[in-house]
Amino acid sequence: MINRFLIYNLFFSFIFSVFFYGKINGQPVPSLEENIDFLVTFSRDASATWGDDDHIQIHFLAIPKDYKGNVFISIFDPDIGGKYDQLNGSKFDSFTKFSLYGGEGAYSNEDARNINPKGNYNSGIQLGSKKFGVSTIYDDQWFTFGPINPKEGEFDKALNAYVFKIIAEGLKGNDGNMYRYYISSSDLEFNPIEGMNCFTYEMSFRLKNIKNTVAHFYPFLDSNIIAIKQHNYDYDSEGQIRLTTVIKKSHQMSRSGDGNWATSTHEITPDEQNTTIDIQIISSGKFPNDMVFYLTNQYGKFVPFYSVPIGGVPKYRYKVDIIYAF
């Protein structure tokens, strides 16, 4: 049965995607692969049940060491108000601050990689900061930090990249700010920075409001991980949360309800070590749903997930040989 509403939404999503992604070769965060339209940060007076447990969102941008050009970090619709943001109350009255950090400690500091914003999470050298309140200036527009010298990031040997940290912090108010990032090498057009990746340890996001659309998270499991524990918050039991790896297909993960956490632990076999796994969160499409997700390993350490899956999207390896006869 043809669902007109679905078609309508698909069509506009397509248009939306084309508008935002078609001509855009930049690197959006969240990425196309993640299939998440917006990151969300609620101002600190908002209840956590709105889908943001801590009113802070931290993302890391890894710029390859060999990259010599400029870095521009654009924020789509950073101000409060407009058609995307979540009104809480009778009118918009909130503020969000976006801050960019580089330098030593921006990434390597333990507090920065904690999902809870405490301690020295804003470590490093602040390269820029901008507070947005209620305005229409940036509705459907971008605010850009840059140009940024890649060497102002913190060099991480393991990543072989200069890492920047961007913190979105809800300040006064209770509205929800919907936004996304774009990383580009140019201020005039969105040119991708080859080899660049973005990762976070906890994401507050809005699921696409289309039934059965799948949001993905792509954590990379190193060789030390033998088990993972997923944590999701305020999923409202919408649909399914599944795990797919190279040897697991659509394993079910626990789902949270409204304003609570759900966790589930999953064993990781050697075959799955050093691979990217795919955690899929299916939307029911009933209402705009904001939620939080993060992942820990067997030691309780936070596992980052990447906008660009390392090694690509995992492909489940069937155990039975399939021969296609044409």
Partner 1 sequence: MFNFSVKSHKNNYCSFLIIIFLASIFSSPVRAQQYDFNYFESEVFPQKYIYDITRDSQGLLYFATENGLVKFDGLLFESVTKNEGLAENLVNKIYIDTDNNIWIGHYQKGISLITKNKIKKTFTGNIKNTRITSFVEDDKHNILVSTDYNGVFLVDTNLNVTQIYNDNSYKINALFTLENKLLIGTSNGLIVVNKFNEAESADAIHHFFNDTNIISFINDTIRNNLWVITANNGINKCNIISNNIDFNNYQSFVTNLQLSSACIGPDNNIWLGSKGKGLFTVYIKENQLDKLIHYGIQNGLKIKYVKSLFFDLENNLWIGSYGNGISQYLHQEYSLFGKNYFNSEIEITAIATSNNNVYAATKSLIYFIDSTLTVKKIPVQIKNKITSLYIHDNTLWIGTIKGVFKLTQNLKINKIDFFQNDYINSIKGNEKDKLYFATNNGLVIYNNNKFVRKTTNEGMLHNSIKALLPESKSKLWVGTMQSPLFLVKNGQFSNSYPIQNINDIYINDLVKDSFGNIWLATYGYGIFKLGKNSSQQFTTENGLPSNYCYAIYIDKNNKVWSGYQSGISYKKQKDENFNSLQYDQQFLSSKINLQTIKGTKNGNIFFGTEKGLIIYQPNKIKNIETDLKPEIISLKVNSNPINLSISTTLSYSKNYIFSIDFRVINFTNQKSILYKYRLKNYENLWHLANYNERSVNYSGLKPGTYTFQLLASNNNEFDNHNLAYYTFTIKPPLWKTNWFIISLITLITFILILIIRIREKNLATNQIRLEEQLKIRTNELLIHKNLIELKNQELTDSIQYAQKIQDAILHKNRISDFFPNSFIYFKPRDIVSGDFYWAAQIDNEIIIAAVDCTGHGVPGALMSIIGLTFLNEIIKIQKITDPKTILTLLDKKTIEILSFKGERLSKDGMDIALINYNMKTKKLIFSGANSPMVLIRDNKINRIKGTLLGIGDSFIKKFNNNELNILKGDKIYIYSDGYKDQFGFIADKKLKNSGFMKILIKASTHKMNEQGHFLSEEFIKWRGKNEQTDDVLVIGIEF
Nearer to partner 1, 66 or 104 (CB): 104
Member of 147, 192, 195, 259 binding partner 1 (CB under 8 A): 147
Nearer to partner 1, 103 or 170 (CB): 103
Report the C-alpha gap between 182 and 94 in whole angstroms.
23
Taking a C-beta distance cutoff of 8 angstroms, is the pair 78, 128 a contact? no
Nearest Cα to Cα of residue 126 among 90, 165, 179? 165
70 part of the interface to partner 1, by CB under 8 A: yes
Nearest Cα to Cα of residue 115 among 301, 308, 306? 301
Contact mark string toward partner 1, 224..253, x via CB under 8 A: ------------------------------
- Which residues touch 15 (CB under 8 Å, ≥6 apart)? none
Residue 244 CB coordination number (10 Å): 18
The phi-psi region of residue 232 (left if phi > 0; otherwise alpha if psi is between -120 and 50; otherwise beta) is beta
Question: What is the footprint of partner 1 within residues 168-227 (CB under 8 A)?
Answer: 187
Nearer to partner 1, 190 or 205 (CB): 190
User: Per the structure block, which two tokens stand in for 125?
Assistant: 């050298």
Nearer to partner 1, 34 or 79 (CB): 79
Where does this chain touch partner 1 (CB under 8 A) — which range of 21-29, 46-54, 121-129, 307-315?
121-129
Report the C-alpha gap between 236 and 291 in whole angstroms.
9
141 part of the interface to partner 1, by CB under 8 A: no
Q: How far is the CB of 163 from partner 1 (least distance, A)?
A: 14
Q: What is the DSSP letter of 17?
A: H
Taking a C-beta distance cutoff of 8 angstroms, is the pair 305, 221 a contact? no
Q: How far is the CB of 299 from partner 1 (least distance, A)?
A: 29
| Radius of gyration over every alpha carbon of the chain, rounded to an integer in angstroms | 19
Where does this chain touch partner 1 (CB under 8 A) — which range of 122-130, 163-171, 273-281, 304-312?
122-130
Summarize the chain as % helix, strand, coil (round to 5).
Answer: 10, 40, 50
Q: How far is the CB of 123 from partner 1 (least distance, A)?
A: 9
Member of 5, 23, 104, 271 binding partner 1 (CB under 8 A): 104
Q: How far is the CB of 2 from partner 1 (least distance, A)?
A: 49
The phi-psi region of residue 78 (left if phi > 0; otherwise alpha if psi is between -120 and 50; otherwise beta) is alpha
Report the C-alpha gap between 168 and 150 in whole angstroms.
20
Member of 26, 51, 81, 103 binding partner 1 (CB under 8 A): 103
126 part of the interface to partner 1, by CB under 8 A: yes
Q: How far is the CB of 208 from partner 1 (least distance, A)?
A: 34
3-state SS record for 170-237: ECCCCCEEEEEEEEECCCCCCCCCCCCEEEECEEEEEECCCCCCEEEECEEECCCCCEEEEEEECCCC
Per rule CB under 8 A, count of chain residues that contact partner 1: 14
Q: How far is the CB of 140 from partner 1 (least distance, A)?
A: 20
105 part of the interface to partner 1, by CB under 8 A: yes
Q: How far is the CB of 134 from partner 1 (least distance, A)?
A: 17
Task: Report the interface residues with partner 1, using CB under 8 A.
Answer: 68-70, 103-105, 125-126, 129, 147, 149, 151-152, 187
